[in-house]
Amino acid sequence: MKKISKLNIIAIVTIGIILLIIPISIQANGRDASKRINKYVALGDEVASESKDYYDVVLMGGSSDSGRDLVAYLDDTYNRYDIYQCKHYDTPLKPSEYWIELGKLCYYTYVKEYRIPEKYYIVASKGIGAKLRKYIENPTIIGAELIKQWVTYCGGKKQILAEGITLTNELKTYIEQFDFSIIKDISPIKFLEQFSQTNWAGE
């Protein structure tokens, strides 16, 4: 299998967001939803012929994605990959809207449901706000703040797990030692600029 370029990952993420956040009113029209799904499948066929950065990609968005909307594998071992997490809000993304996702990243890698990604990309429809950017630009402060926010945003019932997640000493230490410098964001401007260079921009 040939590798898939990061440029085409942007196209996949774009179509993926559309599929993940199609309004209920549009989903009610089965024909429209079917057209979007067929378009995504065709996109997958096209990018599979590219040869640059990624070996394979999997769109995982849904209630059981464990905080991974899209996983982009770097080689055929399927052990090295980047994660793309997509958010669609009407305003720039705030820390209060994202602690749960960082909680998922830490918890699921802690219990070894999946490995720590090489990079973790936030793709937000309106970008990230100043407060969240402060954390991304200063990753060493994320762990302590996530621990502070755990009970409010991550540990309760039906937040990450149905039964809730107790912040044990072991999990707390894991979060304190986690390398949050893997977290990056893709701004809407960069997102659109890169997507405009793909074959799907005019579709």
CA atoms of 99 and 77, how far apart (whole Å) = 30
Tokens of 173: 């230490």
Task: Look at residue 88 in the predicted model and tell me its pLDDT.
Answer: 79
Task: Look at residue 155 in the predicted model and tell me its pLDDT.
Answer: 97
Do 61 and 69 touch, CB atoms closer than 8 A? yes
Query: pLDDT digits over 26-44, tens only?
Result: 444 455 555 554 444 444 4
Task: Look at residue 90 in the predicted model and tell me its pLDDT.
Answer: 85
Task: Look at residue 9 in the predicted model and tell me its pLDDT.
Answer: 62
If one compares 171 and 72, the residue with the highest pLDDT of the two is: 171
Average pLDDT rounded to a whole number, residues 125-139 = 94
Query: pLDDT digits over 95-104, tens only?
Result: 999 999 999 9
Average pLDDT, the chain: 79
Average pLDDT rounded to a whole number, residues 155-179 = 97
Element spanning 184, H or E: strand 183-186
